[in-house]
Amino acid sequence: MKSMVRVLTASLLTASLAGCGLWGGPDEVEPAALVDFDAEKNVSVLWSAQVGDGPGLGYHQFEPAIGNSRVFAADNEGEVVAIDQASGEKLWDVELDLPLSGGVGFGFGSVVVATENGEVIVLDATTGEERWRSRVASEVVAQPQVNADLVVVQVINGQVSAFDRVTGEHRWTYDSQIPQLSLRGTGAPVVTDQVTLTGFANGKLLAIDNRSGNAVWEQRIALAEGRSELERIVDVDGRPLIVNGTVYVTSYQGRLVALNPYGPRIVWSRDYSSYRGLASGFGNIYAVSADDKVDAFDAGSSASVWQQPALLNRRLTSPAELNNTVVVGDSEGYLHFMSQIDGHFVARYNFDSSGIYSDPLVVDDVLYVLSNDGRLAALKLN
């Protein structure tokens, strides 16, 4: 059986998988041991702050958001904070006393969180004051997205719902048919002015019209194949990446695809299994495979540029691009920095032993990381 590092859901209920690494047992897959190397760069901490008790050790996508010179983050118990991006000073702190299940969204002065019970809550980014609440059909586990008009959330049951950003009025819901068995989680949508790009557990990527909620086009990224339900899981769970007008997206047990969205038309594709987001730099697309190899592919041709296999089964985050390096976090709390040129390790930093499940963020050459125990820090690579 392939090593499974995501919780699976069947009809929105967690399926128990014997013999897989998450649940232990004699067949548990051990993470690769850390390799020795000569560090070429050092990591310095600009500031560090505490965000409640943190997201916890269960599978989560508690990615912070950055805007208006602030970092917005939350913990699993409902604490939402705003922190000064430069100093690390806590500017406001709101206790919602509700179990949150997704990351923090931000845009146009609005901070958005969602609960395990399907409540969508919007706060004022300056004061933390609540603006409105609404409800969706089920749990939201991915970061809500915001544009000038809409708050868009993707629900674990295959729905995508949009609300008026100012009033909270429900605008539309798109309902996708998803298979009975899928990975627990969804990718965060990409919300542009006109369309919302999002992937589903049926292996499709869709562009949804932001005015009507109707599908503008759909493109199959992966085809469900195999004899068992496990072999037929083809979730598109990594957030699509747009680079120079091309959309890049991965799927679990499927493909990495470059897509011209005007049509749409597949520019290139190659077999690849991933449930993480992507990063770009140096003309490459960086991806993390389902078994935690880090890969660089030529953005124009799909040719393999390099692969770093030394982090196998370490349950990596999505990659981020920082100062000519690619950085990922792992479940033991380490940050790994690799050269964008050839993938060799240039630095490693032991951030927090509780582990890092939240994807790291990079803004203005500063790396922002949230640990499972709630340590939020701004880091510099020198």
How far lies 74's CA from each of 137, 170, 189, 290, 363, in Å?
22, 24, 19, 27, 19
| pLDDT greater at residue 13 or residue 220 | 220
Q: Three-class SS of residue 196?
A: strand
pLDDT of residue 15: 34
- At residue 7 the predicted structure's pLDDT band, cuts being 50, 70 and 90, is very low
Architecture category of domain 61-175 in CATH: Beta Barrel (2.40)
For 48, the 3-state DSSP assignment is strand
Among the listed ranges 52-61, 94-103, 222-231, which one has the minimum average pLDDT value? 222-231
Q: Work out the percent of the chain whose per-residue pLDDT is above 70.
A: 87
Q: How many CB atoms lie within 10 A of CB 364?
A: 6
The answer to whether 192 touches 198, Cβ cutoff 8 Å, is no
Query: What was the pLDDT predicted at 184?
Result: 53
Question: In the chain, where are the structural domains located?
Answer: 61-175
Higher pLDDT, 24 or 354: 354
Which residues neighbour 86 within 8 Å (Cβ) at sequence distance 6 or greater?
A: 69
Residues 106-130: pLDDT tens digits?
999 999 999 999 999 999 999 999 9
* pLDDT at 6 > cutoff 80: no
Give the chain's end-to-end CA distance (angstroms, integer): 42
Q: What is the pTM of this model?
A: 0.91
pLDDT of the residue at 350: 98
What is each CA distance from 303 to 9, 136, 338, in whole angstroms?
34, 41, 19
CA distance 114 to 100: 6
What would the mean pLDDT of 270-297 be, rounded to a whole number? 97
